[in-house]
């Protein structure tokens, strides 16, 4: 698959199974994460690779956060199983760094670019994935349990694995619906 085809046909896939990325594939995914726009060279991203027993540990973190922060019962009931939806997750974090020329939003955007780059690298290697956020990306308890500061942003949880179903062709949006010339 060439780069243009990858960009024009990508779509998230939440139907993931084993195997997850092997060591070689993970290294490519990690290298892709580090090749994103980075104003000021701050490298405003950190990552947690979660697999094997780490998925159970993350499920426990989610569960404790949901209970501690008094979430709805349906969220508490699902919390432990969420990391089991894929053989590997990568948690992307943007640790905020004060900088006179690089505002917080640009640091978060750089970390977000890293998530997309990792997902594209997975797709290019025959894997699939889905980028999730939601309550557990905003939870102060999750941040604390991961050793993060309150001002750090969990940009997302990238679930990675082998696709279990053939995705249908994505809807082709028309550029003229989204682009305007000035």
Residues annotated within a binding site for FMN: 10-12, 39, 131-133
CA-closest candidate to residue 164, choices 14, 9, 12: 14
Candidates 101, 110, 103, 100; CA nearest to 155 is 110
DSSP 8-state class, residue 18: S
What does the alpha-carbon distance between residue 57 and residue 107 come to, in Å, rounded to a whole number? 28
Could you tell me which residues are annotated as the binding site? 10-12, 39, 131-133
- In whole angstroms, give the CA distance from residue 105 to residue 93: 13
Give, as one character, the DSSP assignment of residue 171.
P
Signed CA dihedral, 61, 63, 68, 74: sign only: positive
Q: Degrees (nearest 5) of the Cα angle 76, 151, 97?
A: 145
143/46 Cα distance (integer angstroms):
13
The backbone torsions φ and ψ at residue 162, rounded to the nearest 5 degrees and listed phi first, read: -95, 130
């Amino acid at each position: 698959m060439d780069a243009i085809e990858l960009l024009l046909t990508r779509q998230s896939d939440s139907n993931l199974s084993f195997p997850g990325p092997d060591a070689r594939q993970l290294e490519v995914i990690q290298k892709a994460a580090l090749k994103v726009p980075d104003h000021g060279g701050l490298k405003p991203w950190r990552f947690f690779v979660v697999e094997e027993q780490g998925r159970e540990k993350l499920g426990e973190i989610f569960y404790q956060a949901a209970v501690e922060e008094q979430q709805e019962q349906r969220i508490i009931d699902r919390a432990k199983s969420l990391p089991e939806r894929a053989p590997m997750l990568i948690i992307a974090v943007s640790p905020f760094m004060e900088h006179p020329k690089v505002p917080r939003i640009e640091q978060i955007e750089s970390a977000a670019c890293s998530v997309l780059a990792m997902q594209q690298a997975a797709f290019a290697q025959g894997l699939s994935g889905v980028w999730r956020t939601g309550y557990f990306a905003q939870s102060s308890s999750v941040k604390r349990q991961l050793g993060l500061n309150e001002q750090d942003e969990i940009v997302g949880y990238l679930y990675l694995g082998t696709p279990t179903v053939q995705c249908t062709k994505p809807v082709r949006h028309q550029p003229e619906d989204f682009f305007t010339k000035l």
